[in-house]
Amino acid sequence: MMSGATGQNAGQCPLCGAGAAVGLLLPGARLAASDASRDLAIAVCPACGFVFQAGADTPDYDAFIRHAYEAWDGATLFDFPRRSEDNAAAADIIARHSRADARVLEIGSNRGDILALVKERLPGASILGVDPATHGNLPVPTLRAFFSPQLFSSRFDTVILKQVLEHFADPRPMLAGAREVLEDGGLLYLDVPNLERILEGRTDAFLLEHAAYYSLGVLRAALPGFEIVEAREAGSLRIAARKLPGAAAAAFVPPADGPRLAEAARTGLERLARAREAGKAALAAHAASGGRVVFFGAYNCFRALYREFLPLLGDCPRAVLDDAMRGEREPVFGLPRIETPGPGDLLLLCSNNAEVLERMWARATELGGGAGGVAVLRPWSKFLRADGTTDGTTSDLGA
Ligand SMILES: [Zn+2]
């Protein structure tokens, strides 16, 4: 199915049923958690503007991706709870819209970092997570299971779906389940990667692990039965919505500007594909000259990029730099960890969040990027050469 090029038929849109077309094809894409690979075809629905992974609604994909979750190893890198700006922003919104004594459920709670941060802000709240991951001792009460409304005999005041919906080709069964376990008037918090920001920054955020990509317009349309009380657009789309009383959700109604959203997505995906090739060529040229490649950020984005770029790197020296990481070496590939890059290094920014990448770019400049003799590559929008000049007359990768 995925041997063709962009523009090829990508099957039916999971939301509205219209015929969709491939907008981006990444052959042999990698998972963060293992060396397994698979072609990744990103489809665009011309009618409603939904962007999704073609074939992600098949049993074949389910079997493949289950492997990624089984190999998940998120517990070792960070202190608990992880106080990233993203986590803090989510916990702030949740606390602001929740009752002081809320019964809070997080679906896909992983270690429970968000729940712990919510509990700090709402000491009177009770917290519960549900997640199939098989970590050791979890610091918050957690049901080890895939979420199903039948697991619960009572309802919750607040339900959290943080970085969950993007893993489903069709978000509606999960949203209906979350609605079922919520009290009328209860709060649903959800966040997903922000498609418009991803395309704007030509960010490397199209992943085998992600089945769906949302603009605010499409996400709003996918939430009948809820009233949105707060929507924030940053690297993530963050939504706080109240459950409206009454019957279950109505049918999906495509947003009025669906065709415009679709055209913006198609154009953005084409630019990303061109810039990605230009960036990979710059990386390969640096490695071929024997220069050191320093991966800035040593978490999931790094892992997937490293697996993909291994053949490009040849024998060049390599290291990681990550302010939040401890230890002499990063744990998956054993690359040495360094505190600062040196002249002649190429610093590759490893994040798929546009906000995080902006902070990393600023930090890379402090660490010697450009004039300090360190080249900086931001996938896939900017390349700053080691002599301080950019690629051509601008820092644009040429898309
Ligand atoms: Zn559609």
pLDDT at residue 93 is higher than 70: yes
Between 42 and 3, where is the model more confident? 42
pLDDT at residue 74 is higher than 60: no
Report how far ligand 1's centroid is from the alpha carbon of 133 (Å): 32
Report how far ligand 1's centroid is from the alpha carbon of 47 (Å): 5
Report how far ligand 1's centroid is from the alpha carbon of 266 (Å): 14
Mind listing the pLDDT tens digit for each residue in 271-316?
A: 999 999 999 999 999 999 999 999 999 988 999 999 999 999 999 9
Gyration radius (Cα) of the chain, Å: 21
pLDDT over 70, % of the chain: 93
Q: Which residues pair with 182 in a beta bridge?
A: 156
Per-residue confidence band for 3, with pLDDT thresholds at 50, 70 and 90: very low
pLDDT over 90, % of the chain: 77
Per-residue confidence band for 249, with pLDDT thresholds at 50, 70 and 90: low
Report how far ligand 1's centroid is from the alpha carbon of 28 (Å): 26
Report how far ligand 1's centroid is from the alpha carbon of 21 (Å): 11
Per-residue confidence band for 137, with pLDDT thresholds at 50, 70 and 90: confident
Between 185 and 391, where is the model more confident? 185
φ/ψ of residue 64, rounded to 5: -65, -45
Report how far ligand 1's centroid is from the alpha carbon of 17 (Å): 6
Report how far ligand 1's centroid is from the alpha carbon of 111 (Å): 34
Per-residue model confidence (pLDDT) at position 251: 78
pLDDT at residue 77 is higher than 70: no
Cα(299)–Cα(288) distance, integer angstroms: 25
pLDDT at residue 266 is higher than 90: yes
Per-residue confidence band for 79, with pLDDT thresholds at 50, 70 and 90: confident
Per-residue model confidence (pLDDT) at position 1: 43
pLDDT at residue 67 is higher than 80: no
pLDDT at residue 175 is higher than 50: yes
Per-residue confidence band for 132, with pLDDT thresholds at 50, 70 and 90: confident
Report how far ligand 1's centroid is from the alpha carbon of 177 (Å): 22
Mind listing the pLDDT tens digit for each residue in 16-61?
A: 999 999 999 999 898 888 888 899 999 999 999 999 999 999 999 9
Cα(257)–Cα(233) distance, integer angstroms: 18
Determine contact, residues 208/65, Cβ cutoff 8 Å.
Answer: yes
> Mean pLDDT throughout 113-137?
92
DSSP 162-184: ES-GGG-SS-HHHHHHHHHTEEE
Report how far ligand 1's centroid is from the alpha carbon of 23 (Å): 14
Report how far ligand 1's centroid is from the alpha carbon of 350 (Å): 31
Report how far ligand 1's centroid is from the alpha carbon of 48 (Å): 4
For the chain, the domains span 85-250, 280-384
Mind listing the pLDDT tens digit for each residue in 327-363?
A: 899 999 999 999 999 999 999 999 988 888 999 999 9
pTM (2 decimals)?
Answer: 0.91
Report how far ligand 1's centroid is from the alpha carbon of 252 (Å): 9
Report how far ligand 1's centroid is from the alpha carbon of 18 (Å): 5
pLDDT at residue 165 is higher than 90: yes
280-384: CATH number: 3.40.50.720
> Mean pLDDT throughout 240-255?
86
Report how far ligand 1's centroid is from the alpha carbon of 236 (Å): 22
pLDDT at residue 393 is higher than 50: no
pLDDT at residue 399 is higher than 80: no
Report how far ligand 1's centroid is from the alpha carbon of 15 (Å): 5
Query: Count of CB atoms within 10 A of residue 374's CB?
Result: 25
Per-residue model confidence (pLDDT) at position 282: 93
- The tokens describing 106, both together, are 């997080």
pLDDT at residue 394 is higher than 70: no
DSSP 278-337: HHHHHHHHHHHTTPPEEEE--SHHHHHHHHHHHHHHTT--EEEE-TT--SSB-TTT-PBB
Per-residue exposure over 338-363, b if at least 16 CB sit within 10 Å of its own CB, e if not: eeebeeebbbbbbbbbbbbbeebbeb
Do the domains 85-250 and 280-384 sit in the same CATH topology, yes or no?
A: yes
Between 334 and 324, where is the model more confident? 334
Pick the CATH number of 85-250 from 1.10.3720.10, 3.30.450.370, 3.40.50.150, 1.10.150.120: 3.40.50.150
CA 233 from centre of chain: 14
> Mean pLDDT throughout 112-122?
97
